[in-house]
Amino acid sequence: MKKKNLIPGSPIFIRIFKEPPELELWVKKERTYVLYKSFLVCDMSGDIGPKLKEGDRQAPEGFYRVGVEQMNPWSKHHLSFNLGFPNQFDRCHKRTGSALMVHGKCNSIGCFAMANYRMEEIYTIANAALSGCQGSFAVHIFPFRMTKKNMLLHRGKWDSFWHNLKEGYDIFEKTHIPPTVLVKNCRYVFGQ
């Protein structure tokens, strides 16, 4: 963090991509967020596409928030934080599931497993942000980088859902500020 002139305890933002499997940790510097580091996701079950029901072994896609009560330093998976699935959007679409996390170790049945040493770094920075001035941090989960090329390459039954995710993705790509995310009429809507 010191090399990038980033301050521990500053607000953070996390983006996760299923394909290729990586987690990006962004830290606020002045008005915008800068990429601190990209981490390889060690293991993730399922495929691209949203989680639909409990037990489908699918990792979620969408916009989530993590507060201090979702942090678990005593996790059986070394360290973890709960993503808060199902969120309001998921419930509106009758999606079910529980205990979906980002955690240590390297095995998953619907979570994002980061390996212990990676999770220690992510957890430490996230915990510092929550202990500082940030009440909760956003975690945005995408099937892939939402470029025009990738959207065309992956056309199919999730097009409408993915185009809705892309709206939030594009705002962050343009501004490097995580958008405000709400749910109206069973759709994500975004603001600054």
* Extents of the domains making up the chain: 2-148+175-191
Q: Is the pLDDT of residue 74 over 80?
A: yes
Q: Quick one: fold of 2-148+175-191?
A: L,D-transpeptidase catalytic domain-like (2.40.440)
Measured from the Cβ of residue 130, the count of other Cβ atoms closer than 10 Å reads 22
Contact of 95 with 83, CB cutoff 8 Å: no
CA–CA dist 13, 6 (Å, integer): 13
Note the pLDDT of residue 133: 84
Known catalytic residue at 103:
yes
**Quick check: is 140 catalytic?**
no
Cβ neighbours of residue 83 closer than 8 Å, sequence gap 6 or more? 60, 64, 66, 70, 100, 101, 102, 139, 141
Tens of pLDDT, residue by residue over 124-160, are 999 999 998 899 999 999 999 999 999 999 999 999 9
* Beta pairing, strands 112-113 & 101-103: parallel
Q: Which listed residue (111, 133, 140, 176) is catalytic?
A: 111
Residues 14-73 pLDDT 10s: 999 999 999 999 999 999 999 999 999 999 989 999 999 999 999 999 999 999 999 999
Q: How high is the pLDDT of residue 192?
A: 75
pLDDT band at 173 (very low <50, low <70, confident <90, very high): very high
What residue spans of the chain are helical by DSSP H? 88-92, 116-131, 148-153, 159-175
Q: What is the mean pLDDT of the chain?
A: 96
Find the catalytic residue in 42, 77, 78, 103: 103
Tokens of 162: 């993915």
- Per the structure block, which two tokens stand in for 111? 């979570």
3-state SS of 44-99?
ECCCCCCCCCCCCCCCCCEEEEEEHHHEECCCCCCCEEECCCCCHHHHHCCCCCCC
Tell if the pTM clears 0.85, that is, is over it: yes
